[in-house]
Structures are given as C-alpha cells and as structure tokens.
Amino acid sequence: MKKDIPLHKVEDMAIAIVPREENGIVDTELWDTYIINFKEGAITNVLVNSQGYGNINGEQMKTTTLRHFFEEIGPLQVHKIEPIQTKLFKLANEYWISFQYDNYMFDKKYVFVKGSINEENFTTIPFLNKKGVMIR
C-alpha cells in the first residue's frame, strides 16, 4: 500500500550556480553548476536532470533535458554538474536530483526561477569559497 512506503525528505543537499572565473577574469557567458553534499556520508547513484523553460518575449521556450550520472559524491563534497550559459538565466532552470543514501532512494527538484540567478542573490558557496546563487 502507498501509505506503507516511508517518505524521506531530502536534507543536507544543495545546487549552486557560480560565475566561472579563470585567472581572476569572470566569464560573462558561462557559469558553472554544482551539487553540494552536506551529509556526513556519501550519496550514491546520483542522477541529475537539468532543463530550462519559460517565456521570452511572448514565445514559449524549453531547453534540451540533460542527464548526468555520478556513481558517488563523498561526504561534505561538491561536484560540478555542468556549465550554464548566462542567456539561459531568462528562463527557469530546473535541476532534479535522485540518489541513494542510507538504503533509501531520494529525489528533489530545485528550480531557479526566471531572474533569480543574479548578483543580488549571491551568497558564499560552502566548500568553494566563491560567490554564487544556491538553493538548499
């Protein structure tokens, strides 16, 4: 029965989007997306689906869905997912993660709404010690 299936809430995980920087110069066209494991244990079989969607100038837009698989992300670690073009910040950007932890399967959807990826929303990203936007 459905009521007999335990529902476990995803905690201690985050997605961060950070400006790409090389030799002290910030790239104005590409930023990097990271998954952060704040757990004291490793997560395994990590699947990340990413896509952008929304309305630009009255036209409905949707990006290709990208899928990434990571066998394991260690405790208190950050793992780079993918680069993201800054022109996609005009869309909502969704990252849906699924993973195994403590013999359970977890999943959670993180959505950076249109216009939320900007310097006004910057925070210091743990473990990276860089400024960026993060959803925990």
Q: How far apart are CA 51 and CA 135, in angstroms?
A: 16
pLDDT, one tens digit per residue, over 88-136 is: 999 999 999 999 999 899 999 999 999 999 999 999 999 999 999 999 9
One CATH from 2.60.40, 2.60.120, 2.30.30, 1.10.3470 for 12-135: 2.60.40
The domain spans of the chain are 12-135
DSSP state of 75: T
pTM: 0.92
